[in-house]
Amino acid sequence: MMERLPAESAYRILESGPIVLVSTRGPDGRANLMTMGFHMMIQHDPPLVGAIVGPWDHSRRALSQTRECVLAVPTVDLAETVVDIGNCSGASLDKFERFGLTPMPAQTVDAPLVRECLANLECRVVDDGFVRRYDLWVLEVQRIWIDAAREERRLIHHQGDGRFSVDGETLDLGERMVKWRHLMD
């Protein structure tokens, strides 16, 4: 039996990837973090990512003024922190301090990396043509940092309303990817 869901539930089914933190540093030098579930890969090379950062986010001001950010990818041990970061505003709070996270200098952007995250992607805004209509920022990844020594590597995926799935097994079907060999490592 097929059940009907409201069309607005599409994001719960097509969730777009692991939840991430967006790290910014405003022109006043203050660093901030927000939680972001709505993002998507757009292109391999140069690597473009679409990110939804809305006017309800204090971070949006820093993003539009500096046109750069870091996408920090947390693992399951940070899940509660990730939700809390997405439920308060950096306008009145230093979230790095409040949540015990460590800002680290990036190389190509002023926004800080997050030491406790598995991966950090330094990004620049390359197209803001969709912002007015969709709050969609097109980012180009400049540099990627991975914490190779980290034991916990399971990412979390937001299913809506604060429910998450946690990465489990890895299926390696690389030998079947015959059409895409040129894109593989």
Ligand X SMILES: Cc1cc2nc3c(=O)[nH]c(=O)nc-3n(C[C@H](O)[C@H](O)[C@H](O)COP(=O)(O)O)c2cc1C
Q: Given the rule CB under 6 A, which residues bind ligand X?
A: 19, 32, 34-38, 52-54, 56-59, 83, 86-90, 158
Concatenated DSSP letters of 119-140: EEEEEEEEEEEEHHHH-EEEEE
What is the smallest separation between the CB atom of 28 and ligand X, expressed in angstroms? 14
What is the smallest separation between the CB atom of 152 and ligand X, expressed in angstroms? 19
What is the smallest separation between the CB atom of 165 and ligand X, expressed in angstroms? 12
Name the closest residue to ligand X (Cβ): 86
Residue with tokens 């950096």: 90
Nearest to 18 by CA among 61, 49, 54: 49
Residue with tokens 């894109």: 183
What is the smallest separation between the CB atom of 37 and ligand X, expressed in angstroms? 4
Q: How far, in Å, CA of 21 to CA of 72, rounded? A: 5
Q: How far, in Å, CA of 100 to CA of 81, rounded? A: 9
Q: How far, in Å, CA of 84 to CA of 102, rounded? A: 16
Which CB atom, from 165 or from 177, has the smaller least distance to ligand X?
A: 165
Which CB atom, from 132 or from 176, has the smaller least distance to ligand X?
A: 132
Q: How far, in Å, CA of 10 to CA of 13, rounded? A: 5
Which CB atom, from 34 or from 123, has the smaller least distance to ligand X?
A: 34
Which CB atom, from 134 or from 177, has the smaller least distance to ligand X?
A: 134
What is the smallest separation between the CB atom of 92 and ligand X, expressed in angstroms? 9
Q: Is 11 helix (H, G, I), strand (E, B) or coil?
A: helix
Which CB atom, from 3 or from 161, has the smaller least distance to ligand X?
A: 161
